[in-house]
């Protein structure tokens, strides 16, 4: 059997996962790829660092040139992450005629067009399945399985950290800060959790999926973003009363060539399969005009799940598989699609006010909603304290503009203390 040499850039969590899989499943991988894969070089920062994995020091290098200049290396697996070096190394490797596999969402979301163009010119393959949702093969799904469809919607739980936090808050009744601390102790959240908790991570992944699905390059800055810091235990409890569960969703919809792109906490019906996606699991629901609703559920991070996607890509290159769809290619076709402004978006809403328990407060509030074309489906009120009463509503579909206008006026009512929460609802229609 022919041998093929590969190099891995970065030997952290995912890098060691890839190493383990190549070793543990060697027999299966040989059978499926028709090659014996040899990891010839691994780029690390510190060659002498103590590692859990027994690995010959000759394989390790701290000099990228050792890899770029080695003509026997055919595939470079980029697992450094981040923006700077990773991108430059991939470009240099492609110019040295090496195929690329990467798990780097930042680089793909920012410079996919530039990178794919170079791959095209250099006639090398560029795979990036692991850049979105770890072990879930969503890129292949969009690029190869759903080719018969016009994709209409993507709705995903694509950040494991926030899903863990919201699951804990929902199932154990604890608050955001406590749940975040737990996530940090378990290694699911960083010391600075901004990227996950404030929705940036989900925004990058949504930009990649939406670009592929709608055939137009989407700038991640154009995606509306709201994190989960302001979600309170009370919201979770009230959502449950109304029959909903709160999840951080990444949503992309196309209607009449207009796109709706947003990442925010969302109430979803508790009997929908996505409501049972708990802990660090991810799930992505795609709606195509032929296939209808299709959902993928699995582990969105971790050494072995993400490694599964990376090694799958290596095998695809060796099997000389189809070239993955090229974001830059589609964006050149002048099929520009307008992105709707947030205030044009329509959704059902969950709204929680804090009011004084006085006769007329519900009537006054309802009147203002009505005047702004917002109609109410249900209402719940907890009258345990007289001057500090939660009053929550579920509305019919309304524009965000009408909701904001209503609340502007409701806020100034004498018996309304505050608007505490405004959370969108997704009913998967």
Based on DSSP, count helices (H) and strands (E) in the chain, helices before strands.
15, 18
User: 190 among the known binding-site residues?
Assistant: yes
CB 299 within 8 A of CB 305: yes
Beta strands in 68-150 (DSSP E): 73-78, 99-102, 126-127
Residue closer to a second copy by CB (options 143, 195) is 143
Among 106, 103, 129, smallest CA distance to 296 is for 129
Tokens of 262: 């947003």
Q: How far is the CB of 51 from a second copy (least distance, A)?
A: 20
Partners of 246 in the beta sheet? 267
Binding residue for a second copy, selected from 3, 291, 336, 378, defined by CB under 8 A? 291
Which span sits near a second copy by CB under 8 A: 67-75, 290-298, 396-404, 413-421?
Answer: 290-298
Which span sits near a second copy by CB under 8 A: 1-9, 19-27, 157-165, 172-180?
Answer: 19-27
Report CA-CA distances (Å) from 375 to 362, 378, 403, 406: 13, 9, 10, 11
Q: Are strands 36-43 and 258-269 parallel, antiparallel or unpaired?
A: unpaired
CB 176 within 8 A of CB 228: yes
For the question of residue 205 being annotated catalytic, the response is yes
Binding mask 116-145 for a second copy (x = CB under 8 A): -------------x-----xxx--xx--xx
Binding mask 210-249 for a second copy (x = CB under 8 A): -----x----------------------------------
User: 156 among the known binding-site residues?
Assistant: no
Partners of 253 in the beta sheet? 153, 260
Q: Rule CB under 8 A: is residue 278 a binding residue for a second copy?
A: yes
Binding residue for a second copy, selected from 304, 327, 347, 392, defined by CB under 8 A? 304
User: 105 among the known binding-site residues?
Assistant: yes
Tokens of 323: 């070239």
Element (H, E) at 178: helix 176-185
Q: Rule CB under 8 A: is residue 276 a binding residue for a second copy?
A: yes
Binding residues for a second copy, rule: CB under 8 A, are: 17, 21, 24-25, 28-29, 31-33, 129, 135-137, 140-141, 144-150, 215, 271-273, 275-278, 283, 288-299, 302, 304-305, 307-312, 314-316, 319-322, 325
- Binding-site residue positions for L-homoserine: 190
Task: Show which residues are catalytic.
Answer: 205
């Amino acid at each position: 059997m022919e041998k093929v040499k590969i190099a891995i850039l970065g030997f952290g969590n995912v890098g060691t996962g890839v190493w383990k899989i190549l070793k543990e499943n060697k027999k299966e991988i040989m059978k499926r790829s028709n090659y014996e894969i040899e990891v010839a070089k691994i780029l690390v920062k510190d060659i002498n660092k103590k590692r859990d994995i027994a690995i010959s020091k000759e394989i390790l290098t701290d000099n990228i040139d050792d890899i770029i200049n080695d003509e026997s290396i055919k595939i470079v697996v980029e697992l450094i992450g981040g923006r700077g070096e990773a991108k430059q190394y991939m470009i240099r490797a492609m110019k040295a005629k090496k195929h690329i596999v990467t798990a780097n969402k930042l680089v793909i979301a920012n410079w996919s067009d530039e990178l794919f163009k170079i791959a095209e010119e250099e006639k090398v393959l560029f795979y990036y399945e692991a850049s979105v949702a770890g072990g879930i093969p969503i890129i292949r799904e969009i690029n190869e399985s759903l080719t018969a469809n016009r994709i209409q919607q993507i709705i995903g739980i694509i950040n494991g950290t926030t899903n863990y936090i919201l699951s804990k808050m929902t199932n154990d009744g604890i608050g955001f800060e406590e749940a975040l601390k737990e996530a940090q102790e378990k290694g699911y959240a960083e010391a600075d959790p901004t990227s996950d908790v404030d929705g940036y991570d989900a925004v990058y992944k949504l930009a990649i999926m939406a670009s592929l699905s709608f055939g137009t390059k989407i700038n991640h800055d154009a995606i509306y973003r709201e994190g989960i810091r302001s979600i309170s235990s009370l919201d979770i409890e009230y959502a449950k009363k109304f029959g909903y569960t709160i999840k951080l969703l990444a949503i992309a919809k196309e209607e009449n060539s207009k796109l709706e792109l947003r990442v925010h906490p969302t109430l979803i019906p508790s009997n929908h399969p996505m409501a049972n996606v708990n802990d660090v699991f991810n799930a992505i629901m795609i709606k195509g005009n032929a296939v209808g609703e299709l959902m993928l559920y699995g582990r969105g991070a971790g050494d072995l799940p993400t490694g599964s996607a990376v090694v799958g890509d290596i095998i695809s290159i060796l099997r000389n598989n189809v070239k993955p769809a090229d974001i830059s290619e589609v964006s050149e076709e002048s099929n520009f699609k307008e992105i709707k402004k947030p205030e044009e978006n329509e959704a059902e809403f969950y709204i929680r006010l804090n009011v004084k328990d006085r006769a007329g407060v519900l009537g006054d509030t309802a009147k203002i909603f009505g005047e702004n074309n917002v109609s109410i489906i249900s209402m719940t009120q907890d009258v345990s304290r007289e001057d500090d009463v939660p009053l929550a509503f579920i509305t019919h579909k309304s524009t965000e503009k009408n909701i904001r206008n209503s609340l502007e006026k409701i806020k100034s009512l004498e018996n309304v203390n505050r608007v505490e929460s405004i959370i969108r609802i997704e009913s998967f229609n």
